[in-house]
Structure 1
Amino acid sequence: MSDTPAAKSKQTSTMNGMTINWHDDKMESVYANIGTATANREEFYLLFGTHQNWRGSAAENKEVDVNLSTRLVLNPFAAKRFAAILASSLKAYEDQFGKIEI
């Protein structure tokens, strides 16, 4: 990663007649290859991290260490919108590159 500050930029989009200005000057990028979710009545918690489970045999992989790095807390309405945009993005990806098998 570069030590120089990221250039400030603003992207604009329109949704339902409303202009949305997306500012990315404080955005951070974090890589994750594992994630989980939990919720209570008020909030959804998305936990993201990394693991290196590709090493060793199946017998050696009875225990996996996950290094959690990011927790995203959403209210139920934001979580529902996030789920919808993620489903739409996954469909577009699979339409272009093929089905993701898990």
Structure 2
Amino acid sequence: MAAERADTPADTRTAPVVKWNVDDLKSSYVNFASANSTREEVVLNFGLNDTWDRVTPEVEVALGHRLVMSPFAAKRLSDLLAKLIGEYETRYGALK
């Protein structure tokens, strides 16, 4: 084991305890998502496509939610989703 340098204090910080406040939490079902970005932000749009007739030349998607976040937060979300899908596929098989 490597010895700690005398001029480098040990990191004694601990992660804060997160308390989830769900008083105003709402759940929504979405089956459509789109994304775009600028240098400063990533925008995710979520909605519902309830067009069941697949031969319709035009489809209307009712957008219900827009999330705007920094690219750093979007990267963390991307990593989280990749991990979640990996765990899902381990349990239930690969998604195609």
TM superposition score category, shorter chain reference = 0.7 to 0.9
Gaps of 5+ in 1: 1-15
The number of aligned residues is 83
Question: Does 1:100 find its partner at 2:92?
Answer: no
Following superposition, the deviation at residue 53 of structure 1 comes to 3.8
> Which structure's CA Rg is the greater one?
2
Alignment of 1:24-35 (within 5 A): 24-35=22-33
RMSD of aligned alpha carbons: 1.5
Q: Name the CA shift for 1:98/1:54 in 2 (closer, same or farther; >3 Å).
A: farther
SS at match of 1:47: strand
Q: Which amino acid aligns with 2:84?
A: S
TM-score, normalised by the number of residues in structure 1: 0.73
Alignment of 1:7-26 (within 5 A): 17-26=15-24
TM-score, normalised by the number of residues in structure 2: 0.77
Q: Which moved more, 1:68-77 or 1:45-54?
A: 45-54
Gaps of 5+ in 2: 1-13
Q: Name the CA shift for 1:18/1:71 in 2 (closer, same or farther; >3 Å).
A: same
Following superposition, the deviation at residue 18 of structure 1 comes to 2.7
Question: Does 1:86 find its partner at 2:81?
Answer: yes
Query: Which residue is equivalent to 1:43?
Result: 41
Alignment of 1:48-67 (within 5 A): 48-56=46-54, 60-67=55-62
Q: Percent of pairs identical after alignment?
A: 37
Segments of 4+ in structure 1 off by > 3 A?
none
Following superposition, the deviation at residue 62 of structure 1 comes to 2.9
